Amino acid sequence: MEAAHEKTKEKHKLNTAPKKKLSKILIESIIVLFTIAIFLVPFYFIMINSFKTSQEAAELSLAWPSEFQIVENFTTVFQAQNNMLVTAFMNSTIITVSSIVLLMVFASMAAFILQRRSGKMVSIIAAIFLAGLMIPPAVVPTIWVLESLHLFRTLPGIILVMTAISIPFSMILYMGFIATIPKDIDEAAIIDGCNSWTLFFKIIFPLLKPIHATVIILNAVQIFNDFVHPLYFFPGAENATVQLTLYNFMSVYSTSWNLLFANVLLITIPPFILFLIFSKKIVAGMTAGAVKG
């Protein structure tokens, strides 16, 4: 009797397994399609309207353009306001690259010290750094400090601001990854005669390559796309960044939706491509840092 009952249960499991698998595949497919729609439909809307004439773009529809005006639209965007977009791309690139370099060096150094050492003072310092994730920067005091140092409205000033803002999150990533590196490596290097600088830059820093990639991509996209901080700390038409060009375009070309969308497309594509290329490294770096962090 029991054997027959067991056979019936096994047969029931075999019959229900394909149904469960099919339901799972169906649910996953729906979620994937929904996610694609959320991200790709707005991107398609921007792209297709950037190819239209001013009259057709004003309809703000998803319809295919009856007349393509790609070259004219993008040429106008690049040449508008004395080639402001070209200047903006140069400024944003300089700010992003310089900030990332400083961020990699100082955030990793600070994370190494805070992770390797213990004590009440170290905990207090770590708490102060990590409080930067919750406390927004004070605009007026920061402007006053920058003006006192003659760095307000300058590239070095905005680079330092963007570096300081990005340090807390980057330190969390670095500290989690450094926790996976055995302390025996430090001790062996010190026994071999390495000082603190040689230990960090010749041994520890190269081991941080996976988390370097994560820090670079996450912060590069955030810094390149930042609008608020350049607006406050790097004002002026000659100091425009890519996101500020959209603000300027809306005041000058508020009725030319095709030019506005062309500008949005141009400033969106570089970080989007960067994110797609390095997305696997982002996940790998964050996962590696979470093993023992």
SS (H, E, C) 230-278: HHHHCCCHHHCCHHHHHHHHHHHCCCCHHHHHHHHHHHHHHHHHHHHHH
Query: Mind listing the pLDDT tens digit for each residue in 54-67?
Result: 888 888 888 888 88
For residue 194, what pLDDT is reported? 84
For residue 34, what pLDDT is reported? 84
What are the structural domain ranges in the chain? Answer: 2-50, 82-289
For residue 132, what pLDDT is reported? 77
Q: Report the percent of the chain where pLDDT is more than 90.
A: 17
Low-confidence stretches of the chain (pLDDT < 70) are 1-19, 251-255, 278-293
Q: Which CATH class is domain 82-289?
A: mainly alpha
For residue 292, what pLDDT is reported? 44
Three-class secondary structure assignment of 211-242: HHHHHHHHHHHHHHCCCHHHHHHCCCHHHCCH
For residue 277, what pLDDT is reported? 73
What's the token pair of residue 191?
A: 């026994």
| Amino acid type, 271 | P
For residue 257, what pLDDT is reported? 84
Q: Which residue has the tokens 């019959």?
A: 15
For residue 293, what pLDDT is reported? 41
Tell me the C-alpha distance between 170 and 168, whole Å: 5
